[in-house]
Amino acid sequence: MGPTAESSKGSGARVVGAVYLFYFLTAISGQLLLSRHLAVIGEAINLVSFAAYVAVSLLFYGLFKPVNRTLSLLAAALSLLGCAAGVMNEFHLAPFHPNPLWFFAPYCMLLGWLVLRSTFLPRVIGAILMLAGVAWLAYLSPAVVKAFAHWIQAVGILSEGSLMLWLLVMGVDERRWRERAGVSQAA
């Protein structure tokens, strides 16, 4: 990929934010419809939200590849596995019930680490994402869920919502992204 194609990634951060927002809206809508016993519509919208999260995962891979290509790829792979587990659960396709959090918790921690190391996004968002990843791991314990479910969900929404809003409103520090990507300013 040449410098011109690479240089468009930095300003593409707002596109990542927009796709991320679309994911949030569809995921919330799908869950609301399911809770109101509109299963067919809710499941269809959930599939759309999984597709949006696949897109977000791939876009994040491109955005964070300059920080650490290997960890960005690992994060994307974990997210895609989490999406696959969610879709399998949606259609009861797995012989067991894979919990998407098995994949999304470490994904969130890796994403937080990539944000912390990036220099083109606020480090506090990275720290909150890492905290959310640890919280999602704790969420796998029924005793923890019973005691702290709302707090854990709030941390998850705060962390991913902060990242989504920052990308949508502020984008990334274009100069620092280009430095990390090794893209010249003339490109």
**Among all chains, which residue has been given the structure tokens 């709030």?**
154
**Among all chains, which residue has been given the structure tokens 């969420």?**
139
Name the token pair of 147.
């005691």
Please give the mean pLDDT across all residues of the chain: 89
pLDDT grade, residue 4 (50/70/90)? Answer: very low
Report how far residue 171's alpha carbon sits from residue 32's, in angstroms, rounded to the nearest whole number.
Answer: 30
Report how far residue 50's alpha carbon sits from residue 73's, in angstroms, rounded to the nearest whole number.
Answer: 18
- The per-residue pLDDT for 59 is 96
Q: Using the 8-state DSSP alphabet, how is residue 66 labeled?
A: T
What pTM does this model have?
A: 0.87
Percent of the chain whose pLDDT exceeds 90: 67
**How many C-beta neighbours within 10 Å does residue 141 have?**
11
**Over 60: is that where the pLDDT of 2 sits?**
no
Spell out a b/e string for 41-80, using b for 16 or more CB atoms within 10 Å of the CB, else e.
ebeebbbbbbebbbbbbebbbbbbbbbbeebbeebbebbb
- The per-residue pLDDT for 37 is 80
In terms of DSSP H, where are the helices of the chain? 3-11, 13-35, 39-64, 69-90, 101-118, 123-138, 142-169, 174-181
- The per-residue pLDDT for 9 is 43
Q: pLDDT for 141-164, tens place per residue?
A: 888 888 888 898 899 999 999 999
Q: What is the largest CA-CA distance in the chain?
A: 56
**Over 80: is that where the pLDDT of 88 sits?**
yes
- The per-residue pLDDT for 17 is 95
Q: Are 114 and 72 in contact (CB under 8 A)?
A: yes
